[in-house]
Amino acid sequence: MAYIGGLSRNRLLLPVIEAAALLPDVQVHLWGDGPQAGDIERAVARQANTHFHGWLASDRLPVHFRAADIIVYLLRLDYPGAVYNAPNTLAQAMAAGRPIIANDVGDLGRIVRVTQCGLLLQTASPPAIAAAIEQLRDPALRRRLGDHGREAAESTYNTAAMQSQLAQLYARLLPSAQI
């Protein structure tokens, strides 16, 4: 399982590391940088099956997404930005065809629900995370959710589709402007 992204305080990553203690045969890899880096390094040092790798260059993202079996994104429920945005790397994880474990908050929850690309947690507790990982031990379920994510990334959650949607929005807001 992997997390690749920013280590801002709005990410719930310590519960992921705590969930690893409940599943000693599962390897958890975290990449990123930000204010939580020190907390994550200390927590990872206490768990033999967790690994913190620091910053990952954007050109290396696809390889690491494809190498993981599961991708996890958990946001704080009180993070106002979650209402209107999802993690920047979510579409890349979906494009890699990997199932997502996420909590049901804002756009992240909406995207995972609508695309059926992963499992949504009602709580980001270590037992709930561990239960989702256990559920995703089923290769057929991982493949089905991953395929849904890849299809959604190819059709909707990609740069070309987003540019088109943005241009259409601007055209509606500014009908006399040439876009």
Q: What is the largest CA-CA distance in the chain?
A: 61
Of 33, 39, 45, 47, which is closest to residue 3 (Cα–Cα)?
A: 33
CA–CA gap between residue 79 and residue 29 (Å, rounded):
24
Taking CB atoms within 8 Å and a gap of at least 24, the contacts of 43-48 are 43/14, 43/17, 43/18, 44/17, 47/17, 47/20, 47/21, 48/24
Instruction: Note the pLDDT of residue 67.
Output: 96
Provide the pLDDT for residue 7.
96
d(CA 116, CA 144): 9
Cα separation, 22 vs 95, in Å, equals 29
pLDDT of residue 158: 72
The DSSP line for 45-77 is: HT-TTEEE-----GGGHHHHHHH-S-EEE-B-T
Q: What are phi and psi of 87, to 5 degrees?
A: -55, 140
CATH placement of domain 2-173: 3.40.50.2000
Each residue's pLDDT tens digit in the chain (179 positions)? 999 999 999 999 999 999 999 999 999 999 999 999 999 999 999 999 999 999 999 999 999 999 999 999 999 999 888 888 888 899 999 999 999 999 999 999 999 999 999 999 999 999 999 999 999 999 999 999 999 999 999 998 877 777 777 788 888 888 876 65
Position 62 scores a pLDDT of 93
